[in-house]
Copies of this chain bind each other. A is one copy, B any other.
Amino acid sequence: MSQEKPQSRREFLHAIGSLGGSAAVYQAMVTMGLLVPKDAQAAINKQRWQASASQNASANKPTIAILGAGISGLYVAYELKKAGYPFYLIEARARPGGRNHTVRAGSVLTETDSQQVCQFDSHDELYFNAGAARISQHHQHLLSICRELKVPLQALVNDNPGAYLHSTSAFAGQPVRGREVQAALRGNIASLLAKAINANALNGEISNVERAYVLEVLKDFGALDNSWQYSGSTRAGVVPGSGGLTGEVAKQALKFEDFIFHPRVPFAANFAQTYEQAATMMQPVGGMDKIAYALAEQVAEESTYGAEVTAIRRTTNGVRVEGKVGKQVGAIEADYAIVTIPPSVLFKIPNDFSTQAKIQIAQVQYAAPTKIAFQSPRFWELEDIYGGISWTDPEILQLWYPSGGFGMSQGVIVGSYLFGGEHAARFANMSPQQRSEFALAKGERVHPNYRQNLSRPVSVAWSKVPYSMGGWSSSAPSSILQKPDGPFIFAGDHLTHLQGWQEGAVISSLNALANLASMVNA
């Protein structure tokens, strides 16, 4: 070997490829630092599926019934199509996407006891992502679909320190800017620690060598003055009118005791530190459903919408899916079924799953998130808020400002987003009119000019949306359902630890495809 000339990366990968197949190539690429795997198993599953698809390119292929045209079902269908498999894609709703649902002028939002028609003006930027609304930059499996199908993406401003933090019980009920809390949090924490260090209280933790460095780090971290006090900083914002012809004057600093007794205030300020919520977040330009429709277009020929599954049966050699379109009943036969119907709906559909699978499906608990949106002139942009989220009392919790269409006269503001729990349950139980009034009454505590501006409410309580009956699984993913149950293969974000994220749906689809490949090649 020592006599041989060094292999180029490509030669090396080619050699590995001949020896060990694509999974080995993948692993070698990871080792060489050429790939940053997001979910290694998902990437391996993708390789496995693609290898199987190309191996079976000219063979007779089994027929697949895909149940549900959410992101998971759509993506499975798209991959089967590329691989030349015969399949049916069956969806109960009249549209693709499932909880990927963008509402715009004329969209219908159906719940078990109400129906709303969206009254927004018709405009590309006037839309409301009623379900999935965020994509993280590390959601590479979903992002690769956007890349492949050329779905234009834009940055979603998830964390905006110029937006408000409001709590009825803090700051005399007045909203403050997120940056005021952030600056005060960092400043006070850094200053207290500097004090302890200077008082020799941490000599056991911080050596003499480290001490000067740590103090310098604290000064910059907290914007401390030369005596390591936090006496305010322009990080918190500036006095209106300063900073142009005259010098910047820092806004008066919040004091630690102004907000530490109101835990939601500092906690909201930490929100965007989490791995899933940190920048860069993205969204498709013009609505999240651009992804669903891009996939749906690829498999339009094989898709049936408005077809409700009424039974999922096992046959001698495969599956039989019974359903109805309107009043017309029918059935299809296939070799395998890939079942992406959410457990919250699936458990009620008569089926021939194994007892073990039935039990697992019945056990999945669902979160019941709610949202409401309004059309409004973009008054918030005149208050220096472009995109992002204001946080307020838990009854409505969040206001989202649009991250697209900056500077337009009209925009869509999300007037509340609740992830679940008691407040969401109360909101879900209201009529659409009551929800609107509730959101306006609470929201005008943050924006005094709220009610004059907002109109055309449209709301959603996912626990009451037919064919979803919930927002996302709040249970741990079932490792049993991650494996095939005879001819039944399950998919959906509930089978991953990314519940409620489209990335989870795609990862589960890759798992389903790898399961299919194993059975087809067995």
Chain A residues engaging chain B, CB cutoff 8 angstroms? 30, 33-42, 137-138, 140, 143, 146-147, 150-157, 159-162, 179, 182-183, 185-186, 189-190, 192-193, 195-196, 199, 201-202, 205-206, 210, 213-214, 216-218, 220-221, 223, 234-238, 240-248, 256-257, 260-261, 263, 266-267, 270, 273-275, 278-280, 282, 381-388, 403-404, 406-407, 448-449, 477, 482, 495-498, 503-504, 507-508, 511
Given contacts A179-B275, A189-B218, 15 further A-B contacts (CB under 8 A): A30-B240, A36-B383, A38-B384, A39-B241, A40-B241, A137-B384, A153-B407, A162-B278, A179-B278, A185-B217, A186-B273, A193-B193, A214-B256, A244-B504, A245-B511
* Residue among B202, B243, B274 making CB contact with A497, cutoff 8 Å: B243
CB of A138 within 8 A of CB of B221, answer no
Copies of this chain, count: 2
CB of A196 within 8 A of CB of B189, answer no
CB of A237 within 8 A of CB of B179, answer no
* Residue among B41, B147, B152, B407 making CB contact with A147, cutoff 8 Å: B407
**Given A40-B240, A137-B162, A244-B504: A266 touches B201 (CB 8 Å cut-off):** no
CB of B241 within 8 A of CB of A182, answer no
CA distance A205 to B191 in the complex (A): 11
* Residue among B154, B245, B260 making CB contact with A155, cutoff 8 Å: B154
Residues of B within 8 A of A206 (CB): 192
Residues of B within 8 A of A449 (CB): 34
CA distance A41 to B242 in the complex (A): 8
CB of B266 within 8 A of CB of A217, answer yes
CA distance A77 to B151 in the complex (A): 40
**Given A183-B273, A202-B196: A282 touches B386 (CB 8 Å cut-off):** yes
A294 to nearest B CB, angstroms? 12
A473 to nearest B CB, angstroms? 14
CA distance A235 to B496 in the complex (A): 19
Residues of B within 8 A of A216 (CB): 263
CB of B33 within 8 A of CB of A448, answer yes
State the 10 A-B residue pairs at the shortest beta-carbon distance, nearest first. Answer: A40-B241, A39-B244, A201-B201, A196-B196, A155-B155, A153-B406, A244-B507, A280-B386, A137-B386, A138-B384
